[in-house]
A and B are shown apart, each in its own frame.
Chain A
Amino acid sequence: MSKKPWLEKLAYFIEPHLSAREVKAFLLANFTRLSEKANSTGGSEFEICRLRHLLGALGWIKADEALHPDHLYTALDLTEAQDWVARLPDGHCLRGGVLVPGIGKFLDRLDEQGLAAERVDEEAERLLKHIETRRQKSITRFTEEMSARENLKERIDVSIFLSRYARRHSDLRFINTAFKLNEWLVREYRAIKKAGLEAAFLLALAEQESSAQEWMA
């Protein structure tokens, strides 16, 4: 038990974190709203279907249908991911705090197929360190010019990769970092909604909770 609860409260005030209950409430409230919105432009069919599937698997909503095979894996072409790795400058997707666009989605695609395992593991470790040392300033500088929307998408994709990587490799450190990254992103939720990335971000949270549940249920 903390000897100084007032200190913990002050620290929480400066840097609030989301409890499991708060994440669940946030996810459900926004998923419900997104689902009810007619002609929702908040995300792709893949994102919404996978989100529904994960929330069902978590036991948070009733979702009887199994996930369609097309929605099991990301829709990225595997060749595209392999080409991306082959084109990496110096063989790294992150150097001096500057990232190559697509880092989250491509590393995830390769990892889910078990391809370029050693390379993916090495880059995942570097990405982890990058986020943990640069914190809110992480995943903001890229080798190409990027719009605000694209930047948000990159950060969301990285978050999804971290959660899935944690699950696939039983590495709690990656969930630890996903928690932090998603908390920073939640503060930008208005911008995320405006950019039409709502489903993507809710999916990132659902992936986080799916991984968390494996350890902390």
Chain B
Amino acid sequence: MIRVVLLAPIDNSLYARLVAFQLRQEREVQLAGIVVRSTLNLKRALNEYRRDGARLLRKFVEKGVRGDKRFAGSAGENLAQLAERRELPFRSLRKLAAEYNIPYQVVSDHNNKRSRAFLETIDPDLVVFTGGGLIKPEVLSIPRIGILNCHTGILPKFRGMDVVEWTAAEGLVNEIGFGVTLHLMDQGVDTGAIIKRERIEFENLRGFEPIRENLEVRMVNLMVEGVRAFVNHTATPRLQKKEEGRQYFVMHPRIREYAKLMLLKQSKAH
């Protein structure tokens, strides 16, 4: 039996709920705790504004306010459809935790004393990270195996932010492709050992949003597969070399427009 704690960015995160729900159904996996970052948190808002700028507003409205409804009108495969297929009954992680009697903690920051104390008490083998900021060494060192993260890009090449768009902007859609990478977290940004990667077919996906929604579905499956691999002792982490990739940052609107054109160009050539 492997003890797992889930870290989530917000209580109604659909990605986190799906992962938690799936893990609950896995044999040999005990979902031993859930830690959620508080949403109404000025320090968090300021930090995220510093990182994302005005895009934070969009993120807040879409994920925080609209929640699952943000997929309404979306044609392709997305998390809401996956939730329907899996018959996910919970609208929040709090409700899921209450139903299954899973210890549940709200924290302002995943790295703070309260979060660390909670994790140390539970003493997990593995932590699955579904969002909520960078994780510091003091927390990284708590779980016996490590902290798993799913990145919406192909590592080691594309680390950091907006990597879906950067893949297109760099003209590497056909060479590298779009996909998700499951990796263990370390002190760097997306530099930890790679467990598994999965590429997607994108020809029928028109634009970055459908691609991203498709990747989110893959993230749920890959995260659960990753945990399963550790249960079965079949996980083979592959270390990344610094020079194998670059860190990318939030994309400026002008570059985004260019990335859109590049995506169109490369999609036609595929």
Contact B54 A173 (CB under 8 A): no
State which residues 24-65 of A face B: CB under 8 Å: none
- The answer to the question of A172 belonging to the interface, with a C-beta cut-off of 8 Å to chain B, is yes
Contacts of A75 in B (CB 8 A): none
Contacts of A216 in B (CB 8 A): 254, 258
Q: Nearest-CB distance from A186 to chain B (Å)?
A: 14
Digitize A1-39: 1 where CB-to-B-CB distance is under 8 Å, 0 elsewhere. Answer: 101100110111011010110000000000000000000
State which residues 205-262 of B face A: CB under 8 Å: 207, 209, 246-255, 258
Contact A4 B58 (CB under 8 A): yes
Contact A11 B54 (CB under 8 A): yes
CA distance A175 to B169 in the complex (A): 12
Stretch at the interface among A66-74, A90-98, A127-135: A127-135
- The answer to the question of A193 belonging to the interface, with a C-beta cut-off of 8 Å to chain B, is no
Given contacts A4-B58, A11-B57, contact A180 B50 (CB under 8 A): no
Interface residues contributed by chain B, number (CB under 8 Å) = 25
- The answer to the question of B51 belonging to the interface, with a C-beta cut-off of 8 Å to chain A, is yes
Contacts of B254 in A (CB 8 A): 17, 19-20, 179, 212, 216
- The answer to the question of B61 belonging to the interface, with a C-beta cut-off of 8 Å to chain A, is yes
Q: Nearest-CB distance from A58 to chain B (Å)?
A: 15
Contacts of A19 in B (CB 8 A): 254
Contacts of B61 in A (CB 8 A): 4, 7
- The answer to the question of A177 belonging to the interface, with a C-beta cut-off of 8 Å to chain B, is yes
Contact A179 B249 (CB under 8 A): no
Q: Nearest-CB distance from A182 to chain B (Å)?
A: 10
Contact B247 A14 (CB under 8 A): no
CA distance A177 to B160 in the complex (A): 14
Contacts of A212 in B (CB 8 A): 254
Of B51, B73, B248, B253, most buried by chain A (CB within 10 Å of CB) is: B253
Digitize A137-171: 1 where CB-to-B-CB distance is under 8 Å, 0 elsewhere. Answer: 10000000000000000000000000000000000
Q: Nearest-CB distance from B47 to chain A (Å)?
A: 10
Q: Nearest-CB distance from A9 to chain B (Å)?
A: 11
* A7 interface neighbour in B51, B57, B170, B253, Cβ under 8 Å: B57
Contacts of B253 in A (CB 8 A): 17
Classify chain A's interface size.
20 to 34
CA distance A133 to B61 in the complex (A): 23
Contacts of B207 in A (CB 8 A): 1
Question: For residue A216, which residue of chain B has the nearest CB?
Answer: B258
Contact A172 B255 (CB under 8 A): yes
Digitize B48-64: 1 where CB-to-A-CB distance is under 8 Å, 0 elsewhere. Answer: 00110111011001100
Question: For residue A137, which residue of chain B has the nearest CB?
Answer: B50
Question: For residue B66, which residue of chain A has the nearest CB?
Answer: A4
Question: For residue B248, which residue of chain A has the nearest CB?
Answer: A173
* A176 interface neighbour in B50, B73, B249, Cβ under 8 Å: B249
State which residues 25-58 of B face A: CB under 8 Å: 50-51, 53-55, 57-58
* B258 interface neighbour in A11, A14, A125, A215, Cβ under 8 Å: A215
CA distance A179 to B252 in the complex (A): 7
Contacts of B209 in A (CB 8 A): 3
Contact B255 A179 (CB under 8 A): yes
Contact A15 B51 (CB under 8 A): no
Given contacts A7-B61, A172-B169, A172-B170, contact A15 B54 (CB under 8 A): yes
Q: Nearest-CB distance from B61 to chain A (Å)?
A: 6
Given contacts A7-B61, A132-B249, contact A176 B255 (CB under 8 A): yes
Contact B53 A176 (CB under 8 A): no
A-B contact pairs, 5 of them (CB 8 A): A1-B207, A125-B247, A129-B249, A132-B250, A175-B255
Residues of A within 8 A of B (CB): 1, 3-4, 7-8, 10-12, 14-15, 17, 19-20, 125, 128-129, 132-135, 137, 172-173, 175-177, 179-180, 212, 215-216
Q: Which 4 pairs of residues, A with B, have the shortest CB-CB distance? A: A15-B54, A11-B54, A132-B249, A179-B252
